[in-house]
Structure 1
Amino acid sequence: MKFDAIVLGAGIVGVCVADHLQQMGMAVALVDRNAPGMETSFGNAGLIQREGVYPYAFPRALGDLLRYAGNKALDVRYHADAMAELAPFLWRYWRNSHPARHAKIARSYSTLIEHCVTEHRALAEQAGANDLIRASGWMKVFRTDEKLDREIAVVERWRREYGVDFEALDPARLRQLEPSLDQSLVGAVRFTEAESVTDPGALVTAYARHFEKLGGRLFLGDAATLREGWSVQTEHGAIESKRIVLALGPWSAPIANRLGYRLPLGIKRGYHMHYEAQSQARLDHPVLDVERGYLLAPMARGIRLTTGAELARCDAPKTPVQLDAVEPIARSLFPLGARIDAQPWMGRRPCTPDMLPIIGPAPKHEGMWFAFGHAHHGLTLGPVTGRLLAQMMSGKETIVDPSPFRVERF
C-alpha cells in the first residue's frame, strides 16, 4: 500500500494530475470520498474556454455594485450571514479586478488557457472519449445593441492581444445557427476555437478509467485523515507515499490550513437543472444570456440550465433561488419543456482573490503539492494543470512557466 504519489481529489484537476503522473512512470493512488467527477466537475456548463484569457473579474462599476448589494440580481446572489467571513476575500478580489491588475493577471493566465483545447484533445484521444467533446464553439447572445457592441469591442482587444478567434453574429446568422432561440435577439458573439462537453461527469470518468488502465489505483477515502509522512485512510486501509497532491477543489483550503497555510480561498456556488426540449426545438451551442446571467447547454441528459454565482459558506444548505428566478426567462429564450432532475444540483467553485489557480509545491512541507483554485475554469484547465504539475514533480521541463501559480504569492 505504498505509492510514488497520492492525489487527493478525483475531480477533473485531480484525475488529470493522477493520469499525467501515471504516464510518467509513477505508481499513483487517487483518493476521493466519491467516485470520480461527482462533485463540482459533474455540474458545470461543459465549456473548454479557449477564449478565457481574462479570468472572471469582480464588478467595479458603482451601478453594478449597487445592483448586487440589493441581492436581487439574477447572476450573483449572496448569503448575508456569510458576508463578514467572505469580506477579506472579496476585498482582495475587487482590488485585483482593477483593469491594470486584471491585464497583468491575464498575461499569466493566458499561458494556461492557450493549451486547454489541445491538452483536452490529447487526453480524450488516449481515453477514447473524443465523442464527448464538440468542436462547435459556444456563444454569448444579446438583447440590446449597446451590450453587443461593448462585447465585440472587448473581444476585439482579446484578438489583438492573444489571438482569440470569434465570429460576430447578426440576427440572420444567429437564426441560421440556432433557429429555436428567441427571434428578438439582436445578435451574438460565437467563440469558434472553444469546445464543449456533452457530459462533464462522463468525461472525468473516462479520464479516470484511462488512469486505471495505465496501472493507477482508485480508492475511496477521507482526505481529513491525511497525516504527515504522508498517509491517508481508505476503504482498504492506510496508504502511504512520499508525495501528496492536494487537488480537493473547494475543500483544499481546510486541509492546507490545518497544516499551517492560510490560503484566501473563496467559494462561488452554482446550480443546474436539466430540461426536455419542446417539440422539434434544437440547441447546438452552449448559449450564455449575458444580460440575464444564466447559460443553457445541450447535454446528453437534456438542456442544462446553469446559474451564475452564489456567495455563501461552502457547506451551507442549498438555496436555488437563482435557478427559480432565471427559469422563466430561459423559457422565453429557448422552448424548454419539463424539468428532468428531481432536485437542483449544486456545485462549489474554488476561487483565489487574484483569479489564478494554485499550482506547485507546498513550501513548508517536503513532498506536498497543490493543484486547486481554478474557479470557473476547472474543466477548461484540468488537463494542462495535470501536465504542468506532473512535469514539476518529476523535474522535467514545464509546458508553461509555473511561477505565477505558486502558493508563495500569498
Structure 2
Amino acid sequence: MSKNSSSLSQLALQKFIKNFWGVFSLIYIGLVGIISVFAYVFAPDSSQNANQMHVSIHSKSPGFSVDMLTIPSEVDNDQNWFDIIFFGKKNTNTEIPISNYKLEGNQLTYTEYVSDGLQGETKTINANFITDNSTKQFIKKRTFYLGTDKYGRDLLSRLLVGARISFFIGFVAVFISLVIGVFMGSIAGYYGGKIDAAIMWIINVTWSIPTLLLVIAITLALGKGFWQVFIAVGLTMWVEVARVVRGQIISAKEMQYVTAAKALGFNDFRIIAKHILPNILAPVIVICAANFAAAILIESGLSFLGIGAQPPMSSWGAMIKDHYNYIILGKPYLAILPGLCIMFLVMAFMLVGNALRDALDVKV
C-alpha cells in the first residue's frame, strides 16, 4: 500500500490552495480582520470612534493638509495601553485647524483656518505650554489621506474603525445562527415525526417573514445599539443552517456507522455530536461563509436606516447614509468608498464560500 495516501481533509486543502481567488479572498479577509482588531493602531485619528470633529475643514478632498494646533487639557486622561489600543484614546485636548501663527514670549497668536479663501478669526492665547523647542509638538501639519467627511472627521480613520462592526457582526451572527440552527436541525432530522413537523413549521414561519423586516422588529424589541444588532441578525439567520443540517442528518442517520453506534448502545447526543455532525460539516461551512456576507449586508442596511450602530460609532452603512446626497454634490467618494469596502468584503466571503464548496465536493 502506498504511504502517500492523503486524508480527505488534506485533499480538500490542496484543492482549496489551487483556487487563486479563494486563497486571495481568504488573505484579504485575514487582513481586514487584523485591521478590525487593531483599528486604532492603524488609524491616523486614534480617538474613540475616530470622532474628532473639525467643522472648518469639512468635506475636504483626499490629500488635504492643514496645520493643527493642539491645546492641552487640564483634565487628567488616565488610560492604560490596552484600553487605548482596542477602544481608542479619550482625547480631551482641543484641536484647532489654523492657517498661520506667531509665538511671542508666552503669547500665541493664530488665525483659524477657513475654507473658500475667506479670512479666519485671529485669536491670542496664553501659551505657557509651548516653548521654542516644543512648537512642533503642539502645532503639526495634519494630512487627511482620504479627505474629511461632512463633520470634518478623518475619512480614512472612520473607514478603518468602521471595519470592526462589519467584520465582527459576521462572527457573532454566524455563531448564534450555528448554535440555534445546528440544535434545531439536528433534533428535527434525527427524530423526525411530530418533532420534525413542529420544528419545520417554526422554520417555515420564520422563513416566510422578510429578513430585513424581522431584524427591524427584533432590533426594536431589544433596543437600538451595537450588540442588539448582532443578536438580531443572528436570530434571523439560523433557519438556513437548520434546513441544511436537517437534510444532511436525514441522509446520514441511515448510514451504517450510525446503525453500528446504536448497536453499541451510544446515546442519541453522542451519536449526533460525535458521529453525524463531523461528517456533515462541509455544507455547513459553506453556508456559514454565505451567512457572513449576508450578515454584513444586513447590518449595513440597518445602519443606513438608522437602527444599526448608533452615532458616534463608525459604521460603513451609517457613513453611506450620512453622505449619499454628496453623490450629486460633487463629493461622491464620501459615499462610494464605504460602499466599496462593503462590496469587497462581501465578495471576498462569497468567493471563499465558492472555493470551499468546490474543495469539499468529493465528486470533483
Shorter-chain TM-score range = under 0.3
Greater strand share, structure number: 1
Greater radius of gyration (CA): 2
Q: TM-score, normalised by structure 2?
A: 0.21
Q: Which has the higher contact order (CA 8 A, sep 6+)?
A: 1
